[in-house]
Structures are given as structure tokens and as C-alpha cells.
Amino acid sequence: MPKEQNINEYELVVLFRPELESKMDAPLAVVSKLIADNGGKITAEDDWGRREMAYRIAGEAHAIYRVYTLELPSTAPAKIDGVLNITDGVIRHLLTRVDQKAKTVLAEEAAKRAARKEADEAEKTEE
């Protein structure tokens, strides 16, 4: 019987070489396949496009940023990190586990702000 693994939520930011901008299908497919092969699932993907970096990395001043939200088993991050370190089109990457407590607190604060704003708008309408 296989050992059950914990599934956690992670965020992955990948900086691709800027010369890949016109042909991003192949590098994106490599990342998607890498995640799937390690038992993960992409739950959200955000394309930030080409941006200037704060400092040069590998001789590049710009990079194409892609942000992923993932669900991964606990053994996958180390494997994914190792492969991305040696992937040609990737300048830099960062894979972090999402802090669920902080996420909950931020959501509660956002709900409180929205409720306050709604109450303020209702008060202004009554005046």
C-alpha cells in the first residue's frame, strides 16, 4: 500500500530569458510537465510579461515573469527546484509554500475593509 503524501499549496515564480518572449509555448510546457510529473497541479497561472529586473542576472537586464499557484506533494518541491536550476530558458525561480494562517488573516482583513467601506458608503447615502 503506497504511503499517503501531504498536499500543500505553493507559489512558483519563474523568470525566463527575454529572447524566449516570442516562443513561450515550449518553456511553459516544460514547467507544466515538470509539475505534473511530480504529482502536482497548477491551480492558477499569472503572466506578468516582460519586466526589468532590479539587477542583472546571467547578463540579462529583463526577464519574462510567470507566477504559478500549485498544489504539490511534500516530496515534489526539492525535485522541481533541482530541475529548474539546470533548465536553460530559466534565469531564476522561487518556490515557496503558502502560509495558510497568513492567507486566512489577510482574507479576514480584506473582508473587514470591504464591510467598513460599504458601511461608509451607506452612511453617505443617508446624509
Break the chain into its structural domains and give their ranges.
Answer: 7-98
pLDDT digits (tens, 9 = 90+) for 13-34: 999 999 998 899 999 999 999 9
Q: How far apart are CA 9 and CA 110, in angstroms?
A: 21
Out of 3-7, 77-81, 109-113, pick the least confident.
3-7
Q: Given this model, what pLDDT does residue 116 score? A: 87
Do 50 and 22 form a contact (C-beta atoms < 8 A)?
Answer: no
Which alpha helices (H) appear in the chain, and where do they start and end?
25-37, 76-85, 100-126
**CATH says 7-98 is which class?**
alpha beta
Identify the band that residue 1 occupies on the pLDDT scale cut at 50, 70 and 90: very low
Q: How far apart are CA 59 and CA 115, in angstroms?
A: 48
Question: In this prediction, what percent of the chain has a pLDDT beyond 90?
Answer: 66
Q: What is the pTM of this model?
A: 0.77
Out of 6-10, 14-18, 99-103, pick the least confident.
99-103
Q: How far apart are CA 8 and CA 86, in angstroms?
A: 24
- From the number of C-beta atoms within 10 Å of its C-beta (0-12, 13-18, 19+), residue 16 rates as buried
> Closest Cα partner for 50 from 38, 39, 40, 63?
63
- Extract the C-alpha cell encoding 37: 510529473
pLDDT digits (tens, 9 = 90+) for 37-60: 999 999 999 999 999 999 999 899
